[in-house]
Amino acid sequence: MTSLGHWAGVLVTAPLVLLARAVDPLLRAWQRWTGIGGMAAFFLLPNLLIFGVFVLIPIVLNLAYSMTGGTEILLAQRPYVGGEQYARLLECQDYSRPLTCREDQFWTAARNTGLFVLFQVSLMVAVSLVTALILNREIKGRGFFRAVFFFPVLLSPVVVGLIWRWILQREGLLNLLVVNLGLEPQVWLNDRVTAFAAAVGVSTWAHMGFYTLILLAGLQAIPRDLYEAAEMDGTPPARVFRRITLPLLGPNLAVVLVLALIRGVQIFDEAYVLTGGGPGTSTLFLTQYIYEVGFASLLRNPGLAAAASMLMAGVLVVLTLVQLRLSRSSAGGQR
């Protein structure tokens, strides 16, 4: 077996070694010509190209579309309208009442997204923290539970949405259980409150493993000695949590908070598959609004969708800057 493994290794590595030898003189010549900086640029180039084609150019194009009107798809065929789409989105008598706005659906989606972020992020941080605290204890089957909580993160959001729709729909698993218990079946996804709660809950379930992992890493980085010193001092558990665990977990909590905020603002796939934005517009979120205005409605308006995208991007940029700042300060500061 050993020799089989050995020859398999040789077969795999030999072509790579030959390739490396072939390109080595070229790379050396390039480095002599451009220096270390040029070499670094050369290695970064593939990723920069991908970033440029799939992120940078679309952003610029999106900005251009947001300043055009009409229903044409090709940019060249669209008339320039300046900031008209933005003005249309922002035109409102009373921002707290979406129906008084010209683009009432945009403001409904914005309000729903705001509420979603508020509830989902609070729930996410709380649930992830509690889960991480439990998984950080020396409980039986700790490795198994860590895997179980992380598993939903590996699922496609569409699969998550479908699974929970099968559970929560009128003839779903939950109602089967409810009926078996002798209770009245509920229309979980057709009620404004329960549908919204389902979107919050399902999204939390799907992503909490990721945030739990970040918090667990933070908890494990807190030296055990600190807890033992507190134990010697007779510190009550609640005070240990408040005065030691929470402050030392602060940088991780901040990162979790901001990442969850960013993800919350972007909520789309699992909620769309789960509720389709309904009932009515009760689970219509910004990304779905943009998607529908730009692509899915009969009177599609790419310019308006692009303008809405730019406004949402503005919010995300601010949140990302906060996140970068937090992660830089937590990386630079010592625990």
Partner 1 sequence: MSQIALKGVTKSFGGVSVIHGVDLDIETGELVVFVGPSGCGKSTLLRLISGLDQPSAGAIEIDGRDVTRVSAADRGLAMVFQSYALYPHMTVRQNLSFGLENTRMAKAEVTGRVAEAARMLNIEPLLDRRPTQLSGGQRQRVAIGRAIVRNPTAFLLDEPLSNLDAELRVSMRAELAALHARLGTTMIYVTHDQIEAMTLASRIVVLRAGRVEQVARPLDLFNRPANLFVAGFIGAPSMNLFPTRAEGGTAALPGGRRVPMAGVPEGSEVTIGLRPQHLRLAQGNEPGFDLRIALIEALGTETVVHGELAGTSGDTPRRVFAILPGQPGVALGDILRLGFDEAYLHRFGPDGQRLVGPGRP
Q: Is 25 or 234 the residue whose CB approaches partner 1 more closely? A: 234
* Helix/strand/coil percentages in the chain, nearest 5: 80, 0, 20
Q: How far apart are CA 124 and CA 147, in angstroms?
A: 18
Applying the rule CB under 8 A, the residues between 173 and 232 that interact with partner 1 are 223, 225-226, 228-232
Q: Is 61 or 229 the residue whose CB approaches partner 1 more closely? A: 229
Stretch that binds partner 1, among 180-188, 242-250, 258-266, 322-330 (CB under 8 A): 242-250
Q: Do residues 43 and 278 make contact, with C-beta atoms less than 8 angstroms apart?
A: no
Q: How far is the CB of 73 from partner 1 (least distance, A)?
A: 55
Q: Do residues 305 and 290 make contact, with C-beta atoms less than 8 angstroms apart?
A: yes
236 in contact with partner 1 (CB under 8 A):
yes
Stretch that binds partner 1, among 8-16, 44-52, 189-197, 234-242 (CB under 8 A): 234-242
Applying the rule CB under 8 A, the residues between 45 and 84 that interact with partner 1 are none
Q: Is 184 or 233 the residue whose CB approaches partner 1 more closely? A: 233
Pick one of 186, 235, 266, 330: the residue that binds partner 1 (CB under 8 A).
Answer: 235
Q: Is 176 or 221 the residue whose CB approaches partner 1 more closely? A: 221
- Torsion (CA) 124, 128, 130, 136 in degrees, nearest 10: 180
Pick one of 15, 234, 238, 332: the residue that binds partner 1 (CB under 8 A).
Answer: 234
Q: Is 250 or 278 the residue whose CB approaches partner 1 more closely? A: 250
Site string for partner 1, 315-334 (x = CB under 8 A): -------------------x
Q: How far is the CB of 138 from partner 1 (least distance, A)?
A: 13
Pick one of 162, 244, 254, 311: the residue that binds partner 1 (CB under 8 A).
Answer: 244
Pick one of 239, 242, 325, 328: the residue that binds partner 1 (CB under 8 A).
Answer: 239
Q: Is 145 or 227 the residue whose CB approaches partner 1 more closely? A: 227
Pick one of 35, 82, 247, 314: the residue that binds partner 1 (CB under 8 A).
Answer: 247
Pick one of 248, 254, 313, 316: the residue that binds partner 1 (CB under 8 A).
Answer: 248
Site residues, partner 1 (CB under 8 A): 223, 225-226, 228-236, 239, 243-244, 247-248, 250, 334-335
